[in-house]
Amino acid sequence: MKYQKNIMDALRNFFNWLLVNKYITELPAFKAIDVPEHTPKTLNIDTQMKLVEFIPAEHKPIFLLLFYQGCRPSEARALQWDSLDDDVVTYKRTFSGEQLMESTKTRKVTPNRLFPETLLILTKRRFALDFVFTHGKKIRRHYSKTFLSELFRKAVEAFNKQYGTDVKITLYEAVKHRFYTQMHNRGIPLDDLRKWGGHTSVKTTEKYAKLDVGNAFRNVSRIPDVSKVSVRQ
């Protein structure tokens, strides 16, 4: 449906150009295509941490960074040691396919604090332009998109087999959507999450953070005891 809408939008723009440049005198009628809003899947914290147990020990560090920090998988794969300074990580590179790009997807340099849990899993510092996360015994190589996704797919498959569940979620949803949704439901304002993600508009942040009103209220630390409140009739 979205693919069809993109085609129709491109045709509409083309005919608008023809009209403006007087190649045609009338704009054809285009049928509107409504694309239902995609509701991303997410994970709760308990499921997330159980799922990590099905990832081989060698590969857990990169997945833990993704879960703890909520960055894009392509940014974690592209992370080099010059991007880490004490407890600050600066996302300034990404992978496009398997090509290392010297800028992020949004063309922005985004600094974030590293949570204490993340600092514990970082390996010993190497040279500035060495990749932070590598794998392999004889030859250390950076993670490819396919390899990282396959590790996650196998972990989900093993998790479902162990617990008799039917979890279906992509790595991107389990990282970006899960992180922003969990943080928003813990009470972190959308504008703070916008800054964390380096988003220009909060509308972008809203695509990732899906507030569960029930869970949000359950996470409120203190709720007044209504039995002690006098009510005047």
Domains and CATH numbers, the chain: 1-36 (no CATH), 45-217 (1.10.443.10)
Distance (Å, rounded) from C-alpha 25 to C-alpha 185?
53
Q: Helices (DSSP H) in the chain: which residue ranges?
A: 2-20, 45-52, 60-69, 73-77, 116-121, 145-163, 171-172, 178-185, 190-197, 202-208, 213-218
pLDDT digits (tens, 9 = 90+) for 10-22: 888 888 888 888 8
- Looking at residue 56, its pLDDT comes to 95
Q: For residue 218, is pLDDT > 60?
A: no
Residue 211 and residue 185 in contact, taking contact as beta carbons nearer than 8 Å: yes
Provide the whole-model pTM: 0.74
pLDDT digits (tens, 9 = 90+) for 72-102: 999 999 999 999 999 999 999 999 888 999 9
pLDDT digits (tens, 9 = 90+) for 171-211: 998 998 888 888 888 888 889 988 888 888 888 888 888 76
pLDDT digits (tens, 9 = 90+) for 132-165: 999 998 888 999 999 999 999 999 999 999 999 9
